[in-house]
């Protein structure tokens, strides 16, 4: 087995050398996760808004439900949708299993609780006078909602980054729903798992470095944005 330093060197060479297969895997990862985030965000923010400002029976139960789903293992989400999407499953006719849309569905399910839970607490922290002021100044309902989202934007951006961080790095759901098919559903985490099992550590480490770099960038952005938020408050 090569030394860790040699493997890391090879990994860097793969990354910087523009290895086509490696960059394709990175592209698939971003495509799937950004699509999932784009679909989940409006749904999650609407739910977060309803939970923060609505008064209806079952509201507390829903909040508890979403908070519980935060710790739902990705592999269980994968298993659930695998059963639903498999040939014999209730959604088998859609023929989505082992496709990118199936991965997107799994990642939406994983991102949604994070977006709702963090979005809800960010919106709840906004002064209720903001809503009343918007309405008394003649803002329409959509504009008043937008105004509140704008006031809570630092917290909401934190929710987006946390959601993206969760789904780009998850392996369980992607493996079960995507099937790790080369050039189609192989993303960063499933590729790392495969390459490691084959003993091909260089590509695994290269992809790991991408995830590490992204985690650093996401956290850095979050720190910067939240610091800016504190300055303004």
> What are the residues binding another protein (CB under 8 A)?
127, 129-130, 132-139, 147, 150-151, 232-233
* Nearer of residues 72 and 146 to another protein, judged by Cβ: 146
φ/ψ bin of 72: left (φ > 0), alpha (ψ from -120 to 50), beta (otherwise):
beta
Is the Cβ–Cβ distance between 186 and 194 less than 8 Å? yes
Rounded least distance, CB 150 to another protein, Å:
7
DSSP string, 19-33: -HHHHHHHHHHHHHH
Rounded least distance, CB 153 to another protein, Å:
9
* Nearer of residues 17 and 54 to another protein, judged by Cβ: 54
* Nearer of residues 99 and 147 to another protein, judged by Cβ: 147
Rounded least distance, CB 169 to another protein, Å:
32
Rounded least distance, CB 123 to another protein, Å:
14
With a CB cutoff of 8 Å and minimum separation 6, the contacts of 206 are 10, 11, 12, 14, 15, 19, 22
* Nearer of residues 17 and 227 to another protein, judged by Cβ: 227
* Nearer of residues 57 and 138 to another protein, judged by Cβ: 138
Is the Cβ–Cβ distance between 40 and 112 less than 8 Å? yes
With a CB cutoff of 8 Å and minimum separation 6, the contacts of 11 are 201, 202, 203, 204, 205, 206, 208, 209
* Nearer of residues 13 and 137 to another protein, judged by Cβ: 137
Per the structure block, which two tokens stand in for 184? 């189609």
Residue with tokens 């409006």: 42
Rounded least distance, CB 159 to another protein, Å:
18
Rounded least distance, CB 232 to another protein, Å:
6
**Gap between the Cα atoms of 6 and 16, Å rounded:** 15
* Nearer of residues 102 and 134 to another protein, judged by Cβ: 134
Is the Cβ–Cβ distance between 115 and 41 less than 8 Å? yes
**Gap between the Cα atoms of 27 and 83, Å rounded:** 28
Rounded least distance, CB 88 to another protein, Å:
53
């Amino acid at each position: 087995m090569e030394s860790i330093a040699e493997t890391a060197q090879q990994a860097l060479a793969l990354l910087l050398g523009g290895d086509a297969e490696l960059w394709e895997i990175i592209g698939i990862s971003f495509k799937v996760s950004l699509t999932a985030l784009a679909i989940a965000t409006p749904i999650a923010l609407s739910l977060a808004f309803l939970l923060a400002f609505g008064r209806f029976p079952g509201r507390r139960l829903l909040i508890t439900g979403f908070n519980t789903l935060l710790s739902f293992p990705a592999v269980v989400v994968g298993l659930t949708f695998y059963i639903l999407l498999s040939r014999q499953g209730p959604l088998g006719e859609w023929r989505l299993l082992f496709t990118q849309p199936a991965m997107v569905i799994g990642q939406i399910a994983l991102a949604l609780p994070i977006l709702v839970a963090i979005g809800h607490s960010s919106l709840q922290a906004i002064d209720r006078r903001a809503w009343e002021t918007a309405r008394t100044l003649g803002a329409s309902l959509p504009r008043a909602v937008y105004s509140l989202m704008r006031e809570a934007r630092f917290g909401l951006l934190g929710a987006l980054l946390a959601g993206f961080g969760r789904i780009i790095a998850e392996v369980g759901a992607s493996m079960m729903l995507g099937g790790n098919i080369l050039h189609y559903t192989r993303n960063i985490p499933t590729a790392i798992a495969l390459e490691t099992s084959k003993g091909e550590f260089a590509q695994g480490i290269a992809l790991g470095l991408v995830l590490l770099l992204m985690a650093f960038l996401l956290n850095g952005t979050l720190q910067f944005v939240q610091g800016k938020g504190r300055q303004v408050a």
